[in-house]
Structure 1
Amino acid sequence: MSFSAFFKRKPAREENNIAIIGTPTNVNHDIHVTVNEKGILTGLPSAWMRQIGTQITKDEQLENPQIVKQVLQYYNYSIKKGNENVQEYKHIVTEKDIVEESKQIDLYMHSKDAHKSKESILSGKSDESPRVKEDSNKSTDNRSSFPSRPPRKIDGTNLVQTKNLAQNLVDLTLVDKDKNDDIEIRNKSETNSDLSDDDFLRRRSGLSDEDYMAEIKNICNPGDPYDYYERCNKDLGSGASGMVFAAECRKNGQLVAIKDIDMTKQHKKDLLLSEIKIMKNFKHKNLVNFLDAFVVYEDHLWVVMELLDGGPLTDVVTETVMKEGQIAAVCFEVLQAINYLHDRGTIHRDIKSDNVLLGMDGTVKVTDFGFCANVIGNEQRETMVGTPYWMAPEVVTRQKYGKKVDIWSLGIMIVEMLDGEPPYLREPPLRALYLITANGRPKIIRWMELSSKLQSFIDLCLQVDVDKRGTAKDLLNHEFLQNRMELKTLTPLIKAAKKMLHKT
């Protein structure tokens, strides 16, 4: 038997499911969901009812009308915010940001925007005016609205392809705030003393773009980046904010990723200024660390990050079979990163295999926060915060939404390592959100095959009751992690995955 065949998972068939979203009629700005005497769900905007389509059955609507409302509210708000406030990077999030976000979602329910169809939200047009009846055979949605992962060769009955939310659904973090607003975004008691003037930097008012660029330039490396790094003949990707490319440090030969951010496309330069200062202080062995920053060509910011040569954990979970000891090793490393962020009042909100990068020696590092976002340049796959399939139920219900959303996502990532994909991957995002919120803890295909220690660990991660869910510190001391294998045992899996994906 060949080396690669020993690790390879069996391929699974692909299926296509597209959320059908129609046009609205009979606009009503007062959203109050009830079930009438005939057992019919009423009170939702017509556009929202059309979104439901076949994704949420009549029985499910009758059984959980409030959940249906919450899911549709969250889904549509996500589209709206993604359209009007597109960010080219994901800034660091605290629990205060979550509170502000929740307030904005409540306000959204009473706005005209809540009654717009998906298409009118994306175009900025209102659906309140009468429309000519459209061809009933014409879908108002489009597959291009749902960018997807590369095909996943997995073992099991779930689908190969991820159907993420529309690429317009980027970070939901609320940054559209008046510069004169003196509400502090960060609670200084939540962050370390090194960041004491972050609030001041982030909330500065009355500065022009030129002023912010001057401030950014002052805290960046004043030197010429070409004196420090030699660009490799390898582009890692591109997106709305610019190119990401590989380079080699002239001093020690270390490979790095450099993200070229076009500052003319960044509307929140105050956040960028704040972020550079924060990221300079965030250093941990299990984070893809910020290394340096330069202002070049007067209006481009080059952010230098670590580059891991083993690729994302996704390649390993989709192409190989992991042992429990290897799963424990990955969890231990990821939890150390999560614990570090949580200790500094920071929530990741998007823990999943795509955002865990590996070194060829088995090094495990978490990425996709702050300037680390899209460090490999895959900006076409930007998704709703949390990504529906890894999302904790309280993200939609807004109940006790805080740091422990990262622990739930870790639990779902363990399911990835066991089954090759997260639960509900075959479902379109809207239905996935409903199932996560209505069902709570998902079923795990191989549950009865797992050791009692792993079962206990997963139990602590996937508690619907947030108070019963473990913290990062709790889980770091769990007995399951005591039997973790050495990180170097991941190397054969990484090599096998690279070979099967033709990345060698």
Structure 2
Amino acid sequence: MMSIFKRRTRPRDDAPSAVAVISEPTNVNHDIHVSINAHGELEGLPSAWLRQIGTQITRDEQVNNPLAVKQAVKYYNYSIKKQEKGEIKHIITEPLIDEETKEIDKYMNSKDAHKSKDGNLDDEGNEEPIYANTLNRPESVPVIPPKNPPTNLKKAPKIPQLDCLTIDDTCELRHKTSSEDSSDDDFLRRRSRLTDEDYIRELKKLCNPGDPNDFYIRSNRDLGTGAMGVVYAATDLQTGLPVAIKDIDMTKQQRKELLLSEIAIMKNFRHKNLVNFLDAFVMYDDHLWVVMELLDGGPLTDVVTETVMKEGQIAAVCHEVLQAIDYLHSRGTIHRDIKSDNVLLGMDGTVKVTDFGFCANVVGNEQRETMVGTPYWMAPEVVTRQKYGKKVDIWSLGIMIVEMLDGEPPYLREPPLRALYLITANGRPKIVRWGQLSQNLQDFIDKCLQVDVDQRATAKQLLKHEFLTGRSELRTLTPLIKAAKKILHKA
């Protein structure tokens, strides 16, 4: 480290008065310049990062591809830092990708980059405090409010549409209210001039004013717990259909403006292959209840891990998922986390994509969520930040096909940092059963897993691919769903 980062000694009392006293530097950038020394070792990275690399990336790999090492460890540590701050997952647009890229570059040259969660040691070996606000911290589970006396409401009132706030407007609103340091809530409030009470008031305008107990019976069955809250199974009293209720404690959300914009966006999303938003209520204790569709077949993960899918069934799933991706892309939204965990099935074979915004994840499965943006399905350009856009979802779909073939994505048994390195360094992964696949499926995968983004297909192009013409009927998925439920004791 350069001497400029050391504390300057105070001038002697007998120093000439004409000599100006130079203050300590402010807003110092801890610039990181990576090089390889004569021994083939990486130099210039924070020692905390070098400790991570030393356990997961070999010396030969460091020498042969130092740029991939730097990109992987940089993105990994940024993601961990973001996770520790408890930042929520939100709807992704291309302007937000540019904003995130700038945040990553800023983080690279910040003091935080010289600290590591691994071992909680800084560059000088001093112990750092453990961050308390992590995704694994226990969430409080609020008690369901008692049912109010019967009212004259016979059906849920229609949630008013937010005519003054279009999808483009909400994206612009989110872009304008995000600061260079998203953890600086005071800055956000000063800039937006909204207090917590203002946010709650505006949120109530978007939500159903009635009592949720008049419309839904919430069970005590916990579908999952995450950074945003607890998800419960419930039943729609009017239709008898199962729904999911996500219970969000708004007092724990730093960026409450996202709650406003995301709900406004979600209300305008409606597609047969998306897990759709149904309703929302602001409760008496500043909890937000978001009601979403719930499919009784469970996640595709159960099917791919416990059964063997035929090519026709894989084509059927791909066809449905691609329709959802194409719809999201047409609305200027990138999913960025396509994987089997986020594809839900109905017992009739219905296929729906979930988790494309903070309130859309209705099945909590954080067993494989070791960092923000699951790495194993991640496109190389997410890490390298080159031509990063909608086609990241197509790469992830290709990895999900590998998952449907092999039962798991490539590198799943590797630690996240090493997986990121392998994705960045190797690009397209090897597919064990490649020689056993039909020519149509091989070509379909080829068009998904192109490292060159310009050569990768779009969702619209893939929907016309010959592989999908041979798809099986969705009802052929039902026996696989039942078999997986029996094996996993979820029947």
CA distance in 1, matches of 2:364, 2:212: 19
- Per-residue CA deviation, residues 6-64 of structure 1 (Å, 9 max, x unaligned), is xxxxxxxxxxxxxxxxxxxx999331111223433222221111111232111111110
- Per-residue CA deviation, residues 98-148 of structure 1 (Å, 9 max, x unaligned), is 111111111222211121122577xxxx7255549xxxxxxx9x9xx9xxx
- Per-residue CA deviation, residues 432-485 of structure 1 (Å, 9 max, x unaligned), is 111111110000010000000000000000000000001101101100001100
Asked if 1:430 is matched to 2:402, the reply is: no
- Per-residue CA deviation, residues 185-209 of structure 1 (Å, 9 max, x unaligned), is xxxxxxx994354257545710101
3-state DSSP of counterpart to 1:31? coil
Q: Which residue of 2 aligns with 1:39?
A: 40
Instruction: Look up the equivalent residue of 1:400 and give its one-letter code.
Output: K
CA distance in 2, matches of 1:51, 1:130: 14
Contact 1:389 1:422 in 2 (8 A): yes
Superposition RMSD in Å: 2.5
CA distance in 1, matches of 2:295, 2:431: 31
CA distance in 2, matches of 1:104, 1:193: 27
Matches within 5 A, 1:57-72: 57-72=58-73
CA distance in 2, matches of 1:373, 1:43: 41
Q: CA distance change for structure 1 residues 234 and 113 in 2, over 3 Å: closer, same or farther?
A: closer
Please point out which of 383, 391, 395 is paired with 1:404.
391
Please point out which of 330, 334, 340 is paired with 1:343.
330
Instruction: Look up the equivalent residue of 2:91 and give its one-letter code.
Output: I
3-state DSSP of counterpart to 1:235? strand
CA distance in 1, matches of 2:124, 2:426: 38
More deviation, 233-242/342-351: 233-242
Please point out which of 295, 311, 329 is paired with 1:324.
311
3-state DSSP of counterpart to 2:55? coil
Instruction: Look up the equivalent residue of 1:489 and give its one-letter code.
Output: T
Asked if 1:195 is matched to 2:167, the reply is: yes
Aligned residues: 421
Q: CA distance change for structure 1 residues 214 and 46 in 2, over 3 Å: closer, same or farther?
A: same
3-state DSSP of counterpart to 2:386? coil
Contact 2:246 2:289 in 1 (8 A): yes
Q: CA distance change for structure 1 residues 372 and 485 in 2, over 3 Å: closer, same or farther?
A: farther
CA distance in 2, matches of 1:210, 1:282: 27
Identity percentage of aligned residues: 75
Contact 2:232 2:245 in 1 (8 A): yes
CA distance in 1, matches of 2:421, 2:45: 16
Instruction: Look up the equivalent residue of 1:100 and give its one-letter code.
Output: E
Q: CA distance change for structure 1 residues 48 and 494 in 2, over 3 Å: closer, same or farther?
A: same
| TM-aligned CA deviation for residue 233 of structure 1 | 4.8
Contact 2:302 2:484 in 1 (8 A): yes
Contact 2:336 2:373 in 1 (8 A): yes
Q: CA distance change for structure 1 residues 30 and 218 in 2, over 3 Å: closer, same or farther?
A: closer
Q: Which residue of 1 aligns with 2:101?
A: 102
Tell which structure's C-alpha radius of gyration is larger: 2
Q: Which residue of 1 aligns with 2:248?
A: 261
Q: CA distance change for structure 1 residues 339 and 206 in 2, over 3 Å: closer, same or farther?
A: same
Q: CA distance change for structure 1 residues 79 and 240 in 2, over 3 Å: closer, same or farther?
A: closer
Q: Which residue of 2 aligns with 1:115?
A: 114
Matches within 5 A, 1:98-497: 98-119=97-118, 127=122, 131=126, 167=135, 194-199=166-171, 202=174, 203=176, 205-378=192-365, 382-497=369-484
Q: Which residue of 2 aligns with 1:152?
A: none
Q: Which of 1 and 2 has higher RCO (CA within 8 Å, sep 6+)?
A: 1
CA distance in 1, matches of 2:193, 2:68: 43
TM-score by length of 2: 0.81
Instruction: Look up the equivalent residue of 2:253 and give its one-letter code.
Output: Q
Q: CA distance change for structure 1 residues 371 and 127 in 2, over 3 Å: closer, same or farther?
A: closer
CA distance in 2, matches of 1:130, 1:478: 55
Instruction: Look up the equivalent residue of 1:198 and give its one-letter code.
Output: T
Contact 1:461 1:469 in 2 (8 A): yes
Contact 1:390 1:409 in 2 (8 A): yes
CA distance in 2, matches of 1:57, 1:128: 21
Q: Which residue of 1 aligns with 2:91?
A: 92
Contact 1:349 1:385 in 2 (8 A): no
| TM-aligned CA deviation for residue 374 of structure 1 | 3.2
3-state DSSP of counterpart to 2:56? coil
Q: Which residue of 2 aligns with 1:11?
A: none
Unmatched segments (≥5 aa) in structure 2: 7-28, 138-163, 178-191
CA distance in 2, matches of 1:232, 1:51: 43
- Per-residue CA deviation, residues 378-414 of structure 1 (Å, 9 max, x unaligned), is 4576443431111111111111111111100000000
Instruction: Look up the equivalent residue of 2:38 and give its one-letter code.
Output: E
Unmatched segments (≥5 aa) in structure 1: 1-25, 133-139, 146-165, 170-191
- Per-residue CA deviation, residues 253-284 of structure 1 (Å, 9 max, x unaligned), is 11111111111111111110111111000010
Q: CA distance change for structure 1 residues 302 and 114 in 2, over 3 Å: closer, same or farther?
A: same
| TM-aligned CA deviation for residue 224 of structure 1 | 0.9
CA distance in 2, matches of 1:30, 1:498: 52
Q: Which residue of 1 aligns with 2:57?
A: 56
3-state DSSP of counterpart to 2:98? helix
Q: CA distance change for structure 1 residues 239 and 69 in 2, over 3 Å: closer, same or farther?
A: closer
3-state DSSP of counterpart to 1:345? coil
Q: CA distance change for structure 1 residues 218 and 390 in 2, over 3 Å: closer, same or farther?
A: same
3-state DSSP of counterpart to 1:222? coil
